């Protein structure tokens, strides 16, 4: 009898160990739906996990992800996590989330400044604030009792062929009622590929006691309206610039930032002439190795409405943290940085390549729906990432694409690549001047000998710096290039600005891309006029802000519900065969 009991004991111990091992193999995760422009790098940064973490749960994502794909993202492992992430399920409301996690509606909205009635929809991810055990997320009030937050789903399960509610319940040790309560859609039946929330067991020691939140939910729209800041003009706008004006090591940077400041001052003067009151403070951040802490210690900086800067990457994190703590908008005019994925105060003027490229691909396909794309593979391949992405996008749109290698850039090969029934668009694999020198002569001969064919050349933003040397060739080849920064020197607005700049400073702007004087003018005018018109409600009125820039296009969109804004504006510049220079803007 003792032998039998001992055997049963070891069998039971083995089964418990097996269950524990199985639980350890499957970490808690949530689902993220990939949006256009996002990369594995940007997604991992959004959730403060590594790319390897994401790949481990999504085999194959290291080589390709696509818009609309659902990725499993692991919850960050930490003894005292600051946040958890929740994927909104069909039928869930903001009020439901507040009850589910025992956190006030206001606190959820505070952690997700991009959340609104329009963005609160199934599939979106929201950040739920979490604090250390025993400490309330916000000051406790009589109507709410808050406790430590934990996700309602212990795991997510994807339904495989032939699985049933019974088999899933058996696998996770649930009753059918518990599974259906966590997944009400199961009342309509189970489908292959469906994702199911696996709730914590009633006896799970991690399960939190039921919490009383609001007994009567407010109307959905009212909950979001409370989160919106008032839209009314500001009496006085307090702005600051923090840039390396006196950098000794990087003197070129200092010269550029001084020009940015000069253009900025012209915009401030323009607004003051219209009656706008602006208090402007300017600080030198020093070289990239200098500490920015002395600047951040300035008492008046805490009361700013908006800060422009910095230039160096080492200064972005401390300045972004400062802006977050004090609720100050931070406009980063030049650098690209990952902080924008986690900090709702940031406006990043210069978009990361993946976001910029996604806009270009969409515009390209709409401009050349009948295209025959011919990639000219030169020895220089600095645009390989752009070409790879374009190939994938054109494949979806069924727009043909072929590659001609640099060694084969002969007239017979180029002519053989042409199609008489399509718009032939040539794109080199490099944007540098050496690549242009290689392809221009051959393409000009091709155009002259095939006058009936539709032929265009498509290229890159840096080509605008070569326009003076290649202007006639650009016109002859019906050349396009994409950009977020461009100014036509003969346009009335540019001529007026150049004249004013010379009058103010008795000099010309630097021959650079972009022109920093115009960048300073455009960014100052966009944000300061927006604050003057909309005040603290600027973020809810960005699409309504009527603004015509001289050089810099603006189309700011939040990267997620808790992060900042990226400028996704892009336009095409076309040198037509009729010797016209056209800027093609897209809605």
Q: Please state the CATH superfamily assignment of the domain spanning residues 354-483+574-584 in this structure.
A: Response regulator (3.40.50.2300)
Residues 584 and 366: their CA atoms lie apart, in Å, by 12
Is there a shared CATH topology between the 236-350+493-551 domain and the 354-483+574-584 domain?
Answer: yes
The pLDDT score that the predictor gives to residue 78 is: 52
Which stretches of the chain score pLDDT less than 70? 1-27, 77-81, 131-152, 201-232, 406-407, 587
Q: From 25, 191, 32, 38, select the one nearest 557 (Cα to Cα).
A: 38
Domain 236-350+493-551: CATH class, spelled out: alpha beta
Residue keyed to tokens 């005040």: 535
What residues are paired with 277 via a beta bridge?
236
The pLDDT score that the predictor gives to residue 152 is: 62
What residues are paired with 282 via a beta bridge?
241
The pLDDT score that the predictor gives to residue 229 is: 56
Rounded to the nearest 10 degrees, what angle do helices 251-273 and 492-505 cross at? Answer: 110
Tens-digit pLDDT profile for residues 199-233: 876 644 444 333 334 444 555 555 555 455 556 67
- Phi and psi (nearest 5°) for 281? -115, 140
- Phi and psi (nearest 5°) for 316? -70, -50
Domain positions in the chain: 151-207, 236-350+493-551, 354-483+574-584
List, as one string, the DSSP characters of 134-159.
TS-SS---TT--------SEEEEEEP
> 381: which residues sit within 8 A by CB, 6+ positions away?
429, 430
The pLDDT score that the predictor gives to residue 223 is: 56
> 299: which residues sit within 8 A by CB, 6+ positions away?
none
Tens-digit pLDDT profile for residues 251-298: 999 999 999 999 999 999 999 999 999 999 999 999 999 999 999 999
- Contact between 42 and 97 under an 8 Å Cβ cutoff? The reply is no
Residues 371 and 99: their CA atoms lie apart, in Å, by 53
Residues 213 and 100: their CA atoms lie apart, in Å, by 9
Q: What is the CATH number of domain 151-207?
A: 3.10.350.10
Q: From 435, 497, 498, 438, select the one nearest 462 (Cα to Cα).
A: 435
Six token digits for residue 333: 């005019």
Residues 380 and 431: their CA atoms lie apart, in Å, by 9
The pLDDT score that the predictor gives to residue 300 is: 93
Six token digits for residue 557: 């969109």
Six token digits for residue 317: 């994190």
């Amino acid at each position: 009898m003792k032998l039998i009991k001992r055997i049963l004991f070891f069998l039971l111990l083995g089964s418990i160990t097996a269950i524990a091992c199985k639980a350890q193999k499957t970490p808690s995760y949530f689902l993220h739906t990939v949006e256009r422009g996002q990369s594995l790098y940007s997604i991992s940064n959004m959730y403060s996990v590594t790319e390897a973490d994401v790949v481990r749960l999504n085999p194959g994502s290291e080589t390709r992800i696509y818009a609309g794909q659902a990725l499993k993202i692991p919850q960050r492992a930490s003894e005292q996590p600051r946040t958890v992430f929740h994927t909104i399920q069909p039928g869930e409301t903001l009020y439901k989330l507040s009850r589910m996690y025992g956190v006030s509606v206001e606190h959820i909205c505070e952690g997700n400044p991009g959340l609104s009635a329009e963005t609160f929809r199934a599939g979106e991810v929201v950040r739920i604030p979490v604090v250390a055990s025993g400490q309330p997320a916000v000051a406790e009030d009589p109507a709410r009792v808050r406790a430590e937050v934990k996700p309602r789903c212990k795991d997510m399960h994807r339904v495989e062929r032939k699985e049933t509610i019974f088999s899933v319940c058996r696998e996770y040790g649930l009753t059918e009622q518990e599974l259906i309560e966590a997944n009400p859609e199961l009342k309509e039946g189970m489908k292959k590929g469906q994702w199911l929330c696996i709730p914590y067991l009633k006896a799970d020691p991690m399960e939190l006691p039921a919490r009383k939140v609001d007994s009567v939910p407010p109307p959905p729209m009212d909950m979001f309206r409370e989160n919106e800041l008032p839209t009314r003009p500001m009496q006085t706008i307090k702005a600051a610039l923090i840039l390396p004006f006196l950098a000794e090591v990087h003197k070129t940077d200092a010269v550029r930032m001084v020009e940015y400041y000069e253009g900025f001052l012209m915009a401030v003067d323009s607004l003051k002439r219209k009656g706008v009151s602006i208090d402007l403070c300017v600080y030198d951040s020093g070289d990239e190795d200098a500490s920015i802490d002395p600047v951040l210690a300035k008492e008046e900086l805490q009361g700013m409405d908006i800060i422009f800067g910095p230039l160096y990457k080492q200064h972005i994190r401390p300045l972004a943290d400062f802006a977050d703590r004090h609720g100050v908008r931070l406009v980063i005019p030049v650098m690209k940085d990952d902080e924008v994925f986690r900090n709702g105060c940031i406006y990043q003027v210069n978009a990361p390549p993946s976001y910029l490229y996604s806009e270009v691909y969409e515009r390209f396909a709409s401009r050349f729906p009948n295209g025959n794309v011919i990639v000219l593979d030169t020895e220089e391949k600095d645009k390989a990432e752009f070409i790879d992405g374009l190939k994938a996008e054109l494949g979806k749109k069924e727009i043909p694409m072929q590659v001609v290698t640099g060694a084969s850039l002969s007239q017979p090969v180029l002519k053989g690549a042409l199609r008489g029934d399509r718009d032939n668009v040539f794109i080199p694999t490099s944007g540098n001047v050496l690549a242009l020198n290689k392809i221009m002569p051959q393409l000009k001969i091709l155009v002259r000998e095939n006058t009936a064919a539709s032929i265009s050349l498509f290229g890159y933003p840096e080509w605008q710096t070569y326009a003076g040397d290649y202007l006639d060739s650009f016109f002859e080849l019906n050349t396009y290039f994409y950009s977020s920064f461009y100014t036509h020197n003969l346009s009335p607005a540019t001529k007026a600005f150049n004249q004013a700049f010379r009058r103010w400073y008795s000099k010309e702007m630097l021959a650079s891309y972009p022109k920093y004087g115009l960048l300073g003018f455009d960014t100052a005018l966009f944000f300061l006029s927006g604050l003057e018109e909309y005040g603290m409600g600027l973020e809810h009125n960005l699409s309504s802000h009527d603004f015509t820039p001289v050089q810099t296009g603006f189309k700011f969109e939040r990267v997620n519900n808790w992060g900042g804004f990226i400028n996704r504006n892009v336009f095409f510049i076309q040198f037509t065969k009729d010797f016209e220079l056209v800027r093609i803007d897209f809605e």
